[in-house]
């Protein structure tokens, strides 16, 4: 069955797709925005410490659902397992309108200039496909600003001497500093560091018709009860719908991108909420489904002209899957550090993102979101995992604990990849993603370096016992909510998937606009960069749009 | 988004997937105390979890309903771990009888803790542990005990929010809303 043709189908309504839909709809293009999940509002927030997007012990709150979605994970020894969204090795990202932006912690970082020029800065790295981006920070700067003002960022990075130049300050001030911030700030200064207020996609004052943060402790992993957290679901997507040019179809699962015998795409085949196969014809297709699902969709779109999937002529689709190893330290203090004021994370330093002697790359360090009691159980010192020692630790540490962590800028690895499995299909009969390979050894070296700096910061602040933390051990595949790199942006069609405007090299009406296009993904949470790229690529798309063709 | 603190269950996956297809069912019979566990199995889990989070001046795992949490979730979100429990509990009992000549629940605290360290380090005796790993089962049980003790009471554990009271956290957990002036929005 074929539906009424539109100008554009956007697959996925997360950080990238939501913005693309709005930009195209505002430019007058007719848009269908397909989303596999549901549209949740602030009242769907259950504040459940075992059933949320950060701790899915009993499942993910915002999808995808366990019963219809699975993947094949291959460990470093080649052992295959079928894994579900609440399994860590599924490398899940939220499946709902807004995607991860519904339930993220909402740090809103701009990458630094060197993050776009990693190869020029550090040279070739053995075992890595490390490369420069085809675009510079300067080209992206106006679009960072647009994201900060349209979606809404609070914070104050004026105290960060390492940041790339910005034309305009952030639209909202930071939230008042909590107790952790007050403890960590003077300690950082004593160490010669340059602490400042983390930029956050969160209203610190009423902004764009939404309320200010109420400083509850249910933030990272949860939807915001008062809608103070800014995601695409409560900013750009409602604007897109208001234009009258955009139709959002929820619970629709893309099956494949359709092509004609001229090698152009003609629309998207998808299963609607009732499970019926639909074909949505369109002049162009934008894939914004995440760095695992976007390559999966391209690889599942096979035809005689594209026998290995779309954009995959040189076998680069799905390659270089990377994200962030998270490292840092947890410190226990003599006095109470707990003030029950969310979101918790508020102070950061960028002193260790670059320029670390003998280290390739680095990452930011920041204090972390408020820990639930169950989250703290994983941060015990040796020998206090269970028994009386465990209980003593929990009583002692819960209100006296500060965690400083940061994302390691990972080295992309060619063999860390997303493929489609040749046998296993999901509920809808679509071949599932097959995840294999593992992270680069350099990540561990940077991780050790950064964890040591986090521990030193806590020690200077007065922590009496410190435990180093690491999430993302060696020989494991990186991914989860910061997943990136699988449809690399580049000038050379033989070593990348999309051009510098996010257009697939050999298909002129097909775009990938999400974290997949990141060549490298900084020592920063990537969402603001995904948003900036979405504004930037949409801007070019609209400028070069010549109306409906071939119809 | 921020770092995840979620526990990697990579090690449990293989067994877990197998378990998802095992038909060992959940009883809805009214005269049965437990949904998944047999009465004997529940006693073993109670004894183990009570050593993982022992009662002292604050309640321990048993009082807080950790067995109820695990039993209930094995018929729900954690159903893929059923086989791990069935085999793991049998293994603990076998180890206990081999080493001490009686069941785990009948051991004194010192011997229970001694055996638990052996389980944790993969050194517990018995044929059972040739089929499944004692350290993986022990790590799984520790994680689920923590969930049942510290997690939201709506899931069947943390009775009367005892764990949160112990840590000085208010219940219900809605801090923020109380001091929030909705008229400013």
- Looking at the complex, report in whole angstroms how far the Cα of residue A492 sits from the nearest Cα belonging to chain B: 31
Counted across chains A and B, CB pairs separated by less than 8 A come out at: 172
Torsion of CA A58, A62, A67, A70, to 10 degrees: -100
Residues 318-357 of A with CB under 8 A from B: 324, 326, 328, 340, 342, 345
| Domain housing B136 | 10-23+34-184
Nearest to A373 among B1, B58, B150 (CB): B150
Average pLDDT rounded to a whole number, residues B174-184: 54
Give A-chain residues touching B166 at CB under 8 angstroms.
394-395
Which residue in B3, B150, B169 is closest to A471 by CB distance?
A: B3
Show residues of chain B in contact with A48, CB under 8 Å.
152, 154
3-state secondary structure of A7: strand
Measured in angstroms, the CA of A168 and the nearest CA of chain B are apart by 24
Chain B partners within 8 Å of A107 (Cβ): 1-2
The CATH architecture that domain A6-45+62-544 belongs to is: 3-Layer(bba) Sandwich (3.50)
The reported pLDDT for the residue numbered B1 is 40
Using a CB-CB cut-off of 8 Å, the residues of chain B touching A326 are: 3-4
Residue environment code for B127-138, b if the CB has 16+ CB neighbours within 10 A, otherwise e: ebbeebbbbbbb
Is B6 within 8 Å of A377 when comparing Cβ atoms?
A: no
Chain B neighbors of A89, CB-CB under 8 A: 8, 10, 13
List, for residues A297-312, the tens digit of each pLDDT value.
Answer: 999 999 999 999 999 9
Give the minimum alpha-carbon distance from A307 to chain B in angstroms, rounded to a whole number.
Answer: 33
Beta strand A431-436 pairing with A71-74: parallel
Query: Is residue B5 domain-resident?
Result: no
A-interface mutation test, from B4, B20, B52, B166, most A Cβ less than 10 A away: B4
Q: Judge: B166–A372 Cβ closer than 8 Å, yes or no.
A: no
Q: Name the residue facing A395 among B150, B152, B166 (closest C-beta).
A: B166
Query: Which pair of tokens denotes residue B151?
Result: 């997690």
Hey, are the CB atoms on B77 and A58 less than 8 Å from each other? Answer: yes
CB distance from A215 to chain B under 8 Å? yes
In 3D, which of B4, B92, B78 has the Cα closest to residue B44? B92
**With an 8 Å Cβ cutoff, are B169 and A373 in contact?**
yes
A139 in contact with B, Cβ within 8 Å: no
Quote the strand ranges of A63-110, DSSP E.
71-74, 80-83
Residues of A in contact with B168 (CB under 8 A): 398-399
Contacts of range A113-119, beta carbons closer than 8 Å, 24 or more positions apart: A113/A137, A113/A138, A113/A164, A114/A353, A114/A354, A115/A353, A115/A409, A115/A520, A115/A522, A115/A523, A115/A524, A116/A140, A116/A519, A116/A520, A118/A361, A118/A409, A118/A519, A118/A520
Residues of chain A with pLDDT under 50: 550-551
Cα distance from A386 to chain B (closest Cα, Å)?
Answer: 5
ipTM score here? 0.93
Contacts of A332 in chain B (CB under 8 A): none
CB contacts, 8 Å: B76 with chain A: 58
Q: Do the chains contact at A226 and B185, CB–CB below 8 Å?
A: yes
Residue of B nearest to A367 (CA): B2
Tell if the CB–CB gap between B3 and A49 is shorter than 8 Å: no
**For B63-108, what is each residue's pLDDT tens digit?**
999 999 999 999 999 999 999 999 999 999 999 999 999 999 999 9
**Would you call A208 an interface residue with chain B, using a CB distance cutoff of 8 Å?**
no
Is residue A482 packed enough to be buried (19+ CB in 10 Å), middle (13-18) or exposed (0-12)? buried
In a domain, B67, yes or no: yes
Q: Cβ contact (<8 Å) for B1 and A527?
A: yes
User: By the CB < 8 Å criterion, does A395 face chain B?
Assistant: yes
Task: For B168, name the nearest residue in chain A, comparing CA atoms only.
Answer: A399
**What pLDDT was estimated at residue B5?**
33
Provide the shortest C-alpha distance from residue A135 to chain B (in Å).
Answer: 24
- Please name which of A399, A410, A409, A401 lies closest in space to residue A329, comparing C-alpha atoms: A401
Radius of gyration over alpha carbons of chain A, in Å? 22
- Asked whether the beta carbons of residue A211 and residue B184 sit closer than 8 angstroms, the reply is yes
């Amino acid at each position: 069955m074929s539906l009424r043709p539109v100008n554009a189908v956007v697959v996925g309504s997360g950080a990238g797709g939501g913005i693309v839909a709005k930009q195209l709809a505002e430019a007058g293009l007719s848009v269908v925005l397909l989303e596999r999940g549901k549209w949740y509002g602030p009242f769907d927030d259950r504040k459940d410490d075992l059933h949320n997007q950060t701790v899915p012990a009993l499942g993910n709150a915002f999808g995808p659902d366990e019963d219809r979605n699975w993947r094949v994970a291959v460990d470093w020894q080649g052992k295959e397992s079928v894994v579900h969204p609440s399994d860590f090795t599924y490398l899940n990202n939220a499946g709902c309108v807004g995607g991860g932006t519904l339930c993220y912690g909402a740090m809103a970082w701009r990458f630094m200039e060197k993050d776009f020029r990693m190869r020029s800065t550090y040279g070739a790295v053995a075992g890595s496909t490390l490369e420069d981006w085809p675009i510079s920070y300067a080209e992206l700067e106006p679009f960072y600003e647009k994201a900060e003002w349209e979606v809404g960022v609070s914070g104050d990075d004026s105290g960060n001497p390492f940041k790339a130049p910005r034309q305009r300050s952030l639209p909202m001030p930071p939230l008042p500093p909590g107790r952790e911030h007050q403890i960590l700030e003077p300690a950082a200064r004593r160490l010669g560091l340059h602490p400042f207020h983390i930029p956050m996609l969160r209203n610190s004052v009423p902004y764009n018709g939404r309320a200010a943060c109420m400083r509850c402790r249910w933030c990272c992993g949860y939807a915001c009860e008062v809608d103070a957290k800014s995601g695409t679901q409560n900013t750009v997507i409602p604007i897109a719908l208001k234009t009258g040019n955009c139709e959002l179809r929820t619970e629709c699962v893309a099956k494949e991108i359709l092509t004609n015998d001229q090698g152009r795409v003609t629309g998207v085949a998808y299963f609607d909420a009732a499970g019926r196969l639909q074909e949505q014809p369109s002049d162009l297709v934008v894939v914004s489904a995440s760095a695992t699902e976007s390559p999966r969709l391209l690889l599942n779109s096979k035809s005689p002209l594209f026998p290995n999937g779309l954009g995959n002529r040189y076998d680069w689709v799905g390659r270089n899957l990377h994200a962030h190893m998270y490292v840092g330290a947890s410190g226990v203090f003599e006095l109470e550090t707990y003030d029950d004021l969310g979101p918790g994370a508020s102070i950061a330093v960028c002193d260790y993102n670059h320029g670390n002697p003998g280290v390739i790359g680095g990452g930011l360090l920041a204090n972390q979101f408020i820990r639930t009691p169950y989250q703290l159980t994983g941060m015990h010192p040796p020998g206090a995992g269970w028994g009386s020692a465990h209980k003593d630790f929990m009583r002692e540490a819960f209100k006296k604990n500060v965690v400083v962590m940061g994302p390691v800028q990972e080295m992309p690895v060619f063999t860390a990849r997303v493929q489609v499995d040749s046998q296993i299909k999901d509920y809808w009969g679509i071949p599932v993603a097959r995840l294999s390979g593992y992270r680069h050894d350099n990540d561990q070296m940077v991780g050790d370096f950064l964890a040591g700096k986090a521990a030193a910061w806590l020690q200077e602040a007065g922590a009496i016992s410190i435990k180093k933390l690491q999430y993302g051990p060696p020989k494991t595949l990186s991914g989860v909510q910061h997943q990136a790199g699988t449809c690399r942006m580049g000038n050379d069609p033989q070593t990348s998937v999309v051009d510098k405007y996010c257009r697939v090299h050999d298909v002129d009406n097909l775009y990938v606009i999400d974290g997949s296009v990141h060549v490298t993904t900084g020592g920063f949470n990537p969402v603001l960069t995904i948003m900036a790229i979405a504004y930037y690529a949409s801007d070019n798309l609209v400028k070069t749009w010549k109306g409906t063709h071939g119809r | 988004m921020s770092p995840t603190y979620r526990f990697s269950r990579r090690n449990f996956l293989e067994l877990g997937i197998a378990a998802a297809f095992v038909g060992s069912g959940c009883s809805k019979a009214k005269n049965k105390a437990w949904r998944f566990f047999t009465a004997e199995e529940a006693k073993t889990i109670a004894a183990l979890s009570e050593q993982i989070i022992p009662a002292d001046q604050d309640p321990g795992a048993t009082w807080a309903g950790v067995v109820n949490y695990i039993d209930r979730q094995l018929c729900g979100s954690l159903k893929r771990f059923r086989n791990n429990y069935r085999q793991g509990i049998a293994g603990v009992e076998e180890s206990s009888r081999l080493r001490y000549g009686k069941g785990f629940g009948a051991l004194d605290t010192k011997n229970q803790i001694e055996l638990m360290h052996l389980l944790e380090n993969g050194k517990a005796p018995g044929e059972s542990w040739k089929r499944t790993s004692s350290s993986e089962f022990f790590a799984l049980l520790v994680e689920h005990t923590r969930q049942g003790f510290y997690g939201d009471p709506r899931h069947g554990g943390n009775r009367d929010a005892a764990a949160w009271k112990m840590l000085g956290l208010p219940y219900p957990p809605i801090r923020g809303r109380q001091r929030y002036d909705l008229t400013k929005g």
